[in-house]
Structures are given as C-alpha cells and as structure tokens.
Structure 1
C-alpha cells in the first residue's frame, strides 16, 4: 500500500476527466477521486458512486481534504482555476493548453514555486506508443543524426451545426491550442529549444469559426522540424516521417489508449496500450529495412510521477521549464502567422 493516499478533485467531467484521468486515477492506489465539479450533472457518480459532487469550483477548493486538483475545464478557464487552486494550497495538474500565453504560464509557475506546490501539465502523449517507439529508435541511434522530422495530428471534423465550445470563436480556442501542445512538446522533448519558429495558422473548412489548420516549423542549425494538423483530413494515417543520416522511419496510426478508454475499459486490463500491427512503422536503413514493432503505450507512469513528486519529492517528468517553452512556441507561432515573419526563439 502507498504511504499516503492523495485526495483528488477534478474540475469538469467531460472527455478529459471521464476518459483520460478518472480511469488512471481510480486504478492507482495512491489516489482517491474525492470530488468532481459538475454544475448540474452527476456523471461522475455513474463512473464511481463513491465520488462526491461539487456544484462550483469554489466549493471544491474550499475542501481542505483535497490534495491535488486536475483542471479539465474549457481552455479559457485553465489559468484562473489554476491560480485559485494554488492560492488554496492545492497541487495542480492542468490539461492542455496549460495557459493562453507564456506570461500566464510564468505566473502559475512562480506562484507554485512560492507556495512549494507541485504544478505540471498533462502531456500524456509522451507516453503514446508511437512516441515511445521513436524515442527508442533515436536513443539506439538507428536513424543517426536527424535531418528532418515531421509529425502530423489530423482529424476529419467538417463544420456542422454544433454547440461544442471547441468549434466556437472563444478565448484560447482553436486547433493550435488543442492539438498543438502535444506535437510541440514531443518535438521539444526530442530536440530541445529551437533557434526559430515559423508558422501558418488558418481556417481551411467552410464556415469554420476557429483556426483548424496549422503548420509550425521549428528551426535548428542542423535539422528542420515540421508540425502540422488539419481538421479536414479524412484519412488520419500519416503521423511521423523522420529522416536521418543512417535511415528513415515512417509511421501511421494513433496510439490505441484513447479508443480503448472510450470503450470503458480500465487500464488495469492487460495487455494495455498495444498497437495493432497495421499501425507499426517501417524503418529503412542499410543496417535493417523492415517493420518495427511498436512499444506499448501507457499513460499510467504520468500519474505515478505526479504522486511521487507530491509525496516523495521526486523530480517531475513534465517540468515547469518544459511547459514554459511549449507556451513560448505557441505564442511565437501565432505571432509568426499574423506577421508573416520568422520569429527568433
């Protein structure tokens, strides 16, 4: 048994709270989901009848028994809810986007530091099957020096009448804030800070109210990093094209964890996160050309790391300085697109 059980408060119980966080928190013995903020619904109790309900964020944050708060609400509320949670002495995990700007992110990081609280971003895609596979290939020097890296995260979401806030012109809305943090974080984990940021952020769908397409290019002295996403790609297959001095790796398909979680399968069911063979990538090199079996994806280590950071003082896997550089790239990408300029990082 863990030395301490952390009481968790979830702010909102939509896709993120219900299908990403709750399954992993409920199967980790170090956490207990105590309360979920739902203003009118009771969906958390359908997941687990023992979960309490709060009708406001203020009610949740006033509970002195809550140790850590996961912020899963619409994007524009992340900063204010995180500030309030930190002011109330809670450790905080924020869904992407972490904040609207680098300046906001710095305020959060500084407040957490002042109060001695753990603050991190939910960068679960570091534990995707495909990304773990790519990290392993690079670590084993199978590709040599990387010259070009392209990652896409596409969806097919034609604009139809919808009440989803994700399709509305709202503050901190649009695809760069939604999918951009995943792609940017992965690239920065692999290659560090760039020298330049160049981007085109636009709408490509008829009647779209949001930016639904982005092409962000990170410039380095010896490589080009291309990060793209469109909500008008019917076949979301091509994910990674990586070319290096020793070979190339091409891979399609998405990590299977989200689709599994949406089927109400909990992550204590084994095997977990195993990609179907038709999603495995192909390595082409003089040393070896053929299909590479994907590593199994697993988001559980993220939650265990949060626990260890709070209870045992362990180093965070998703560090504040890493969060700040992702928010900086997003700021520069918007500025580059608006001003049609190459921005210096």
Structure 2
C-alpha cells in the first residue's frame, strides 16, 4: 500500500527509545513518531510535545493507525510484544536481543512471513565507525585473508547497590550475553558467515553481581578463528578490534561516538555526524610499515533509510531473517557450551 508517512509507535522510552530511535525517526521524512508507551510522559513531552503517550503496550498495539512498532522494553518482553504486534498486522523492529531463544526467533520470523509483515532486529552496530572501517579494509584486501579476528565490547560498570535498573536484576534474558553479545555476534557473522563450531565461557565476575557480566565466545571457521569478548569490569576499553591477516594486521580502540552524541540531545542530521576524533584512529601494519587509518563516519541513519525502503518499496531487509536466526543460534549454542564445557557444532 502507498504511504505518505509511516506512523510509528515506541514501546519504551529509556536509553534505546529516547536516544537511539526517537531522534532518527524524527529526522527521517518517511516516519511519523506518533505514540510512545512510557511511565514517564514528561520526558516524551520534553522531546516532542506532539507525541502521544500511553501507559501500556496493549494500548499502543490496539491502535490501528500505528503501522510500525519499535520494541525497546525489557528483554523478556520482546517476544510477547512482537508476537502481539505481528498478529495485529504491524511491522516490527526489535531491540537486541531479538528474542531469548532460537525457537522464539523462528516463531516470530515465520509469523511475519505468513502475514507479509516486516520484522527485523535493530543491529545498529553494523554502522559504527570502527566496524565500517574494518569492513572496508577487508573488502579492499588491505589485510589479505583474515586468519585471526578478535572483537571486544568492554565497559567499566561495577555493581551499584542503589541501582534499580532491570538490567542488573537476575532473570531470563539478562546479562551481557543478551545485551552486548548480539552486537559482537552480528558483526562477526556479517563479515564471515556462519561458523563450523561454537564454544563459550560465560561468567559472573563483579562482586555482588546478579547477572552474567563476562563472556568469551569462539567461532571456528575452516580458515580462521573468531573470538568475541566482553567484560563489565574493564577499566579501559582500548582494545576493540584486533585482526591479523595474510597481508597485514589492524588494531583499533575506543567506541563509536554516535551514542554519546545522541545522549547530549544532538539530532543526527547535524553536520559531520558520526566522525571520530583523530586520536581514535586504528593502526594498520603491513610488514615493516605502519599506518594510522581514519575511520569512516558512523551512520545509524542507514538502518532507518533501509527500513523505510523495505516497508514501502519491498526492498530486501538490510538485517535479513536468516541473519537474525543465525545470531539466535550462536547465542543458544554459547549458553549450552558454557554450561556443558564443550565445543558444539553450529
């Protein structure tokens, strides 16, 4: 059907809804953010007083004028809300994790296909400046054949006993594997496809922590090893990518600047969006030559442009169903591998 604008609803207005989605939906001419589910309507009004608020997801999902729903609520609610939205013939974008298991993931993808609706995962870290740069270096054969790839997402987040955040409470779908793991897994699968085997070690390392806050996942390929790591007790996050290939090596630290820029309230249509400072440049080493490499600009807006193209023009989704399925499978296998202490076939 033709659209003048796609009416959008957000389930949740925390970090994800407020700082990742609302700004991009507001500046894209094809989307109209009409309704937000929140317990803090004043924060929505401060962002844009024209946006309506409701207190429950059921109210939003019952609104036939809402055509596209972004689910930014606690992890264990993603499947339930997405299922309900699809049953009401709405398109759906789900924050990571897409679902808590591969079985839930399959159910959502199958339902979307049967209803001819779009359901996709918000894998924004494909458009981080550092990952775009790594992808370009590999595509340009600057590293040759990749032999050893390590990516990390580290933070320093000691347990705060005063915190009331659901992210720090034990429960289904909680912990770093579900929070940061989908980013690392998606990036690796996007570069190299599905692995032959998966092994993992998932732990609680912070004093007083109720959630798993440290992991190492190893993906084995016939011609390379991929290691994905995360710790919430890293006092510095300088090690982001370390990649060795037949022609060169690349190392890169720091984190993409888009998230902190969005948290300042800056809209993503500002000039020079996504450019990293020069001190964040990565190091490319080939033989006895070393070169500092400027990062490509980060560009989360590309996700929304592709989403609009898929819904309105039927373009292939930028985050494809088989990729979403593979991410869920790796996470399922990582949990099983850590429990059983063995390597598992993909």
Task: Give the TM-score category using the shorter length.
Answer: over 0.9
Structure 1 runs not aligned, ≥5 long = none
Could you tell which deviates more after superposition, 49-58 or 116-125? 49-58
Q: With the length of structure 2 as denominator, give the TM-score of the two structures.
A: 0.98
| CA–CA separation in structure 2 for the residues paired with 1:103 and 1:180 | 18
| CA–CA separation in structure 2 for the residues paired with 1:20 and 1:234 | 25
- Aligned position for 1:31: 31
How far the C-alpha of 1:237 sits from its partner, in A, is 1.2
Q: Is the 8 A contact 2:118 2:311 kept in 1?
A: yes
- Aligned position for 1:179: 180
Q: Is the 8 A contact 2:310 2:316 kept in 1?
A: yes
Partner SS state of residue 7, structure 1? strand
Partner SS state of residue 222, structure 1? coil
- Aligned position for 2:192: 191
Q: With the length of structure 1 as denominator, give the TM-score of the two structures.
A: 0.98
Aligned residues: 344
Partner SS state of residue 17, structure 1? helix
Could you tell which deviates more after superposition, 50-59 or 321-330? 50-59
- Aligned position for 1:244: 245
Structure 2 runs not aligned, ≥5 long = none
- Aligned position for 2:71: 71
1:328 aligns with 2:329: yes
How far the C-alpha of 1:42 sits from its partner, in A, is 3.1
1:258 aligns with 2:259: yes
**RMSD after superposition:** 1.1
Partner SS state of residue 240, structure 2? strand
| CA–CA separation in structure 2 for the residues paired with 1:142 and 1:41 | 50
| CA–CA separation in structure 1 for the residues paired with 2:248 and 2:40 | 55
- Aligned position for 2:126: 126
| CA–CA separation in structure 2 for the residues paired with 1:201 and 1:327 | 16
How far the C-alpha of 1:252 sits from its partner, in A, is 0.2
- Aligned position for 1:58: 58
| CA–CA separation in structure 2 for the residues paired with 1:57 and 1:131 | 34
| CA–CA separation in structure 1 for the residues paired with 2:178 and 2:36 | 24
| CA–CA separation in structure 1 for the residues paired with 2:312 and 2:12 | 25
- Aligned position for 1:141: 141
| CA–CA separation in structure 2 for the residues paired with 1:256 and 1:88 | 37
How far the C-alpha of 1:55 sits from its partner, in A, is 1.5
